[in-house]
């Protein structure tokens, strides 16, 4: 009954979203903190003041939201956990994160979660005539999109220490004259490469193919590549409200790139879903961007809990990668990843285990509040 193309579909499997039992959920890299009170206020106000707007189509291009995103990025430099508070609930970038130019709204595409934005990018820029180059272990949605659109892939194994094999990525991109995508910091490995390292890759890789850096986690550490947009017109940076902006339920994500590339993504959008962001999410997203100071505090708390937790695990003989994200990637000698996952689940806490060859010994644990982490530590003491 189905079309032939259905054979190429291998759906993404997200972390469990259980309904039967109240688990502490540390399995989907969601933010444990609530959204800013300003977000709640904005949603209430929108419903109360202009309920008729629910019955009308929203702004198809989310222009006010794009303005707010640009303002937020200019104010924090792209890494919330290093931003510096200044007076009146405002923040500014640390000196190392300050942008050398202003990001303008025409450099932003806003969409229904960065997953949708990524899907449009795959459609617009990666062709079926050559493989897109990506790390073997990275965000597992990339291969799903490649399958969906019939794009071949060249998967580059990570180095033995889980870092990106930059040389091999570059070599293959040049060999095939093709585009590149990876997450920075990478998932599920939590490690990032520096802006200088990205720059040196950009410098040598094909200039007429897109180079996509997914910065879903960069607000928790690492270095943003936003400042490289000034000189590299083939660079696309993808970011999301789901992790550092406590908004996974709002489904908001965006790309930052040259206006020319943004126009291509917009064209794809207008052929698939003209109104990707609903009225209330646009309002909520604007309020979130205006509360960057609040999310900076949340990101700092998450980074603090993360570093404490990594020390805790290492003191107990776990192998843990350094993390620049809101999660940790770890294993314990003598226990399989699946065993650890099951033992922790029995105690009412969900973490993520991947049945993927090469990383099956590891588990991925999202960093929660200090209360949640205290519960988890108790469980781990028992393992
Ligand atoms: C969570 C995540 C996303 C998806 O974000 P949404 O905006 O919720 O769709 C994209 N990329 C990476 C690497 C992620 O971890």
The predicted pLDDT at position 267 comes to 98
- Per-residue pLDDT of 107-137, as tens digits, reads 999 999 999 999 999 999 999 999 999 999 9
Q: How far is CA 103 from CA 79, 112, 167, 255, 278, in A?
A: 15, 21, 30, 12, 24
Give the nearest ligand 1 atom to 252 CA: 7
Determine the Cα–Cα distance for residues 122 and 148; give it in Å rounded to an integer.
10
Residue 15 has pLDDT above 90, yes or no: no
State the DSSP string of 31-87. Answer: -SSPPPHHHHHHHHHHHHH-GGGGGSPPPTT-HHHHHHHHHHHHHHTT-GGG-EEET
Q: Which residues line ligand 1 (CB under 6 A)?
A: 29, 113-115, 139, 183, 187, 214, 216, 240, 242, 248, 253
Strand 24-25 and strand 349-350: the pairing is parallel
Q: Crossing angle, helix 166-176 and helix 195-204, to 10 degrees?
A: 20
State the DSSP string of 188-245. Answer: TT-----HHHHHHHHHHS-TTS-EEEE-TTGGGSS---GGGGGT-TTEEEEEESSSTT
Give the nearest ligand 1 atom to 116 CA: 9
State the DSSP string of 101-140. Answer: S---GGGEEEESHHHHHHHHHHHHH--TTSPEEEESSS-T
- Per-residue pLDDT of 150-197, as tens digits, reads 999 999 999 999 999 999 999 999 999 999 999 999 999 999 999 999
Residues in CB range of 373: below 8 A, 6 or more apart = 305, 308, 309, 367
Q: How far is CA 342 from CA 15, 229, 321, 380, in A?
A: 14, 44, 21, 12
Q: How many CA within 13 A on the CB side of residue 275?
A: 9
CA nearest to 260, candidates 214, 194, 208 = 208
Mean pLDDT of the chain: 96
Cα(48) to ligand 1 centroid in Å equals: 31
Top mutation candidate among 216, 218, 247 for ligand 1, by most atoms within 8 Å of CB: 216
Q: How far is CA 333 from CA 31, 57, 217, 278, 320, in A?
A: 29, 55, 28, 47, 11
- Per-residue pLDDT of 258-297, as tens digits, reads 999 999 999 999 999 999 999 999 999 999 999 999 999 9
Residue 13 has pLDDT above 90, yes or no: no
Cα(316) to ligand 1 centroid in Å equals: 31
Give the three-class secondary structure for 364.
Answer: strand
Give the nearest ligand 1 atom to 114 CA: 7
Nearest 5°: the CA angle 306, 310, 316 is 150
Residue 21 has pLDDT above 80, yes or no: no
CA nearest to 292, candidates 92, 29, 63 = 92
Cα(1) to ligand 1 centroid in Å equals: 33
Give the three-class secondary structure for 91.
Answer: strand
Please, what's the largest Cα pairwise distance for the chain? 63
Model confidence, pTM: 0.97
Cα(242) to ligand 1 centroid in Å equals: 7
- Per-residue pLDDT of 1-11, as tens digits, reads 999 888 878 88
Cα(138) to ligand 1 centroid in Å equals: 11
Label residue 240 by pLDDT band (50, 70, 90): very high
Q: How far is CA 212 from CA 71, 184, 255, 313, in A?
A: 22, 10, 10, 33
Residue 14 has pLDDT above 90, yes or no: no
The predicted pLDDT at position 9 comes to 86
Nearest 5°: the CA angle 236, 200, 147 is 45
Top mutation candidate among 190, 242, 252, 329 for ligand 1, by most atoms within 8 Å of CB: 242
- Which amino acid residue places its CA nearest to atom 15 of ligand 1? 216
Question: What is the average pLDDT across 309-334?
Answer: 97
Tokens representing 222 are 């690492």
Residue 37 has pLDDT above 80, yes or no: yes
Cα(83) to ligand 1 centroid in Å equals: 22
The predicted pLDDT at position 124 comes to 98
Label residue 76 by pLDDT band (50, 70, 90): very high
Cα(326) to ligand 1 centroid in Å equals: 12
- Which amino acid residue places its CA nearest to atom 5 of ligand 1? 114
Q: State what percent of residues in the chain have pLDDT above 90.
A: 93
Give the nearest ligand 1 atom to 115 CA: 9
Cα(76) to ligand 1 centroid in Å equals: 20
- Per-residue pLDDT of 39-69, as tens digits, reads 999 999 999 999 999 999 999 999 999 999 9
């Amino acid at each position: 009954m189905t079309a032939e193309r259905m054979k190429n579909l291998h759906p993404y499997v997200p972390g469990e979203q259980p309904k039967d039992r109240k688990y502490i959920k540390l399995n989907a890299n969601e933010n444990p903190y609530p959204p800013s009170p300003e977000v709640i206020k904005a949603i209430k106000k929108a419903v109360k003041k202009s309920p008729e707007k629910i019955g009308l189509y929203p702004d198809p291009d989310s222009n006010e939201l794009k303005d707010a995103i640009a303002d937020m990025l200019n104010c924090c430099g792209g890494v919330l956990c290093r931003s510096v508070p200044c007076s009146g609930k405002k923040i500014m970038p640390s000196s190392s994160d300050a942008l050398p130019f202003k990001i303008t709204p025409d450099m932003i595409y806003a969409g229904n979660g960065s997953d949708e934005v990524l899907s449009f990018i795959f459609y617009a820029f990666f062709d079926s005539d050559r493989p897109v180059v990506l790390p073997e272990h990275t965000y597992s949605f990339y291969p799903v999109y490649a399958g969906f659109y019939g794009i071949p892939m060249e998967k580059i194994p990570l180095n033995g220490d889980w870092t990106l094999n930059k040389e091999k990525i570059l070599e293959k991109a040049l060999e095939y004259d093709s585009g590149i995508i990876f997450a920075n910091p990478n998932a599920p490995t939590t490690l990032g490469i520096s802006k200088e390292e990205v720059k040196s890759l950009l410098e040598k890789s094909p200039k007429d193919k897109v180079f996509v850096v997914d910065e879903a986690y960069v607000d928790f550490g690492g270095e943003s590549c936003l400042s490289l947009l000034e000189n590299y017109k083939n660079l696309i940076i993808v970011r999301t409200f789901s992790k550092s902006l406590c908004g996974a339920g709002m489904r908001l994500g965006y790309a930052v790139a040259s206006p020319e590339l943004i126009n291509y993504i917009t064209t794809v959008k207008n052929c698939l879903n003209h109104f990707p962001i609903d009225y209330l999410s646009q309002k909520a997203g604007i309020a979130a961007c205006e509360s960057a100071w609040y999310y900076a505090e949340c990101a700092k708390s998450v980074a603090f809990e993360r570093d404490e937790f990594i020390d805790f695990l290492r003191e107990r003989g776990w192998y843990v990668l350094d993390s620049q994200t809101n999660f940790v990637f770890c294993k314990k000698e003598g226990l399989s990843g699946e065993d650890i996952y099951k033992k922790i689940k029995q105690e009412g806490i969900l973490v993520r285990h991947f049945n993927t060859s090469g990383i099956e010994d590891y588990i991925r644990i999202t960093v929660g509040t200090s209360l949640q982490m205290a519960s988890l530590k108790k469980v781990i003491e028992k393992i």
